[in-house]
């Protein structure tokens, strides 16, 4: 074989053998680049989540909250409607009851005395519990001060300064008519917020202990206002509880 033909065959062999190697190298580099982007995005998302969890929601638009804060600052009793009695009157008299957002928040502030529970116990004090009513939705906010507390209950500022934080749980409440003339009530828990960061249902479980306290404290109100009422309608700023047509009802269990 002539020298030129030999060199040509070697060149072809070399090209065939090296091209896949170059392709694999480029492919591996691209995959590493994509992996790096994913890791950076995850880390950035975690940093953003932590940042927004430390910033409170703006609760200034919740009806009744300012009146509650002012009464506490002036060391006065919080004036409120007896919501349990109001629901009971409607149930006994078989008429629809309207409870406004302000009435609900004043009643909660007057009746509820709770302490931080769960894994945050010892690192937070509850400042207030407030409810925001929207169309088919009730969002329950817990406003708290996060700090490292000493044995005497005074915040210790060695590690960090005390700061306010809000957490919330959303309840979607709907009532639909069923074929036999009764109604079916459903309650769903789509999640909530930790600070300004949205939190799906599994994250809200981290703060479930505090909400369990609220549910236990208002067990009578929940029994009468949910289980014994035919129709619940949640609107912007108020809730309607209707005991009329109290035939067979199907209820979603409260969890």
Q: How much is the average pLDDT of 112-129? A: 71
User: Hey, which residues does 130 pair with through a beta bridge?
Assistant: 141
Question: Is residue 182 very low, low, confident or very high in pLDDT (cuts 50, 70, 90)?
Answer: confident
pLDDT of residue 200: 77
d(CA 205, CA 122): 18
pLDDT of residue 180: 72
Q: Which residue has the higher pLDDT, 111 or 156?
A: 111
* CA-only gyration radius of the chain, Å: 29
Q: How much is the average pLDDT of 216-236? A: 90
Residue 220 sits at φ, ψ, to 5 deg, of -65, -45
Going by C-alpha positions, the residue among 132, 251, 135, 247 that lies closest to residue 182 is 247
pLDDT of residue 153 exceeding 60, the answer is no
Question: Is residue 123 very low, low, confident or very high in pLDDT (cuts 50, 70, 90)?
Answer: low
Q: How much is the average pLDDT of 196-206? A: 73
43-65 residue pLDDT tens: 665 655 555 566 778 999 999 99
Q: How much is the average pLDDT of 193-217? A: 79
pLDDT of residue 40 exceeding 50, the answer is yes
Going by C-alpha positions, the residue among 113, 137, 129, 226 that lies closest to residue 189 is 137
Which long-range contacts does 88-95 make (Cβ < 8 Å, 24+ apart)? Answer: 88/224, 90/241, 90/243, 91/224, 91/228, 91/229, 91/243, 94/243, 94/244, 94/246, 95/243, 95/244
d(CA 142, CA 215): 13
Cα angle at 125 between 121 and 127, to 5 degrees?
Answer: 145
pTM of the predicted model, to two decimals?
0.73
Q: Which residue has the higher pLDDT, 17 or 233?
A: 233
Question: How many C-beta neighbours within 10 Å does residue 134 have?
Answer: 14
Going by C-alpha positions, the residue among 64, 70, 67, 78 that lies closest to residue 110 is 78
Q: Please, what is the average pLDDT of the chain?
A: 77
pLDDT of residue 193: 87
pLDDT of residue 194: 84
Name every residue whose Cβ is closer than 8 Å to that of residue 248 and which is 6 or more positions away in sequence.
180, 182
d(CA 170, CA 211): 11
């Amino acid at each position: 074989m002539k020298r030129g033909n030999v060199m040509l065959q070697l060149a072809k062999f070399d090209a065939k053998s090296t091209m896949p190697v170059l392709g694999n190298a480029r492919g591996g580099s691209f995959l590493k680049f994509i992996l790096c982007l994913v890791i950076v995005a995850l880390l950035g998302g975690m940093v953003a989540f932590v940042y927004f969890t430390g910033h409170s929601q703006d609760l200034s638009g919740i009806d009744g909250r300012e009146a509650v804060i002012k009464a506490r600052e002036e060391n006065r009793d919080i004036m409120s409607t007896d919501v349990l009695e109001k629901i009971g009157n409607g149930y006994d008299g078989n008429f629809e009851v309207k409870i406004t957002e302000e009435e609900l928040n004043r009643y909660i502030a007057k009746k509820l005395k709770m302490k931080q529970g769960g894994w945050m116990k010892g690192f937070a004090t509850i400042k207030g519990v407030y409810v925001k009513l929207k169309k088919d939705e009730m969002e329950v906010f817990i406003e708290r001060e996060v700090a490292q507390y000493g044995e005497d209950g005074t915040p210790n500022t060695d590690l960090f300064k005390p700061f306010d934080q809000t957490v919330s749980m959303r309840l979607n409440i709907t009532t639909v008519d069923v074929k036999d003339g009764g109604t079916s009530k459903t309650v769903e828990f789509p999640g909530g917020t930790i600070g300004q960061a949205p939190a799906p249902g599994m994250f809200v479980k981290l703060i479930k202990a505090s909400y369990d306290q609220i549910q236990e404290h208002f067990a009578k109100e929940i029994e009468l206002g949910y289980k014994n009422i035919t129709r619940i309608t949640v609107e912007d700023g108020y809730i309607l509880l209707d005991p009329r047509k109290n035939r067979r009802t199907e209820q979603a269990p409260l969890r």
